[in-house]
Structure 1
Amino acid sequence: MALKKTTVMVDEEDLALIKEAAAREGRPESEYFREAFHLAVLRSRRWDEDWDIPSLDFGGPVTAEEIGRTVSDGVADTE
């Protein structure tokens, strides 16, 4: 991946928090900014075509109680 240098204005408090995190975790500050740019790009991404997401038919409405019971059963199975 080719990197390009740019200048960005940031809030002083945010920059201080980045500096603290970088020192604490032993990572370069630039990694935090690259990660933030990447997350911003992913968040704003748009697709031209519709997604082909299948719909599920459970034969009727599913209640919150049924969902809770199923999740509880699934958690109990992993313990």
Structure 2
Amino acid sequence: MALKRTNVYADDEDLALIKEAAARLGVSEAELIREGIHRIALAQRVWDEPIVTDDETFDLGGPITRDDVREVMAGARGPGEPHERGHAA
């Protein structure tokens, strides 16, 4: 991948956080900034084609309830695995 140089203005607090993270991770500050730019670019991308056409649908078998999710999650845990209560569902 060819890299191009550009200038970016950033808050001092953000730059300090980047500096700390780079030192902790053992990578350059520039690498973290490039990764951030790449993630934002991908997150803001607009696709030319829809993932699902108007003719395609997904049948999930009806409404999924909170109890349905809990039942599946309870079955996914192995014996002796702790049950963690979260805020979701």
Normalised to the residue count of structure 1, the TM-score between the two structures is: 0.83
Q: Which residue of 2 aligns with 1:64?
A: 66
Question: Of the two structures, which has the highest relative contact order with CA contacts closer than 8 Å and spacing of 6 or more?
Answer: 2
Deviations 1:35-54 (A, max 9, x none): 01001101110112221275
1:61: Cα distance to partner? 2.4
Q: Percent identity?
A: 44
More helix by share: 1
CA distance in 2, matches of 1:12, 1:18: 10
Q: Which residue of 2 aligns with 1:49?
A: 49
Segment drifting more, 41-50 vs 29-38: 41-50
Q: Which residue of 2 aligns with 1:26?
A: 26
Runs of at least 4 residues off by over 2 Å: none
Normalised to the residue count of structure 2, the TM-score between the two structures is: 0.75
The secondary structure found in structure 2 opposite 1:23 is helix
Task: Identify unmatched segments of 5+ residues in structure 1.
Answer: none
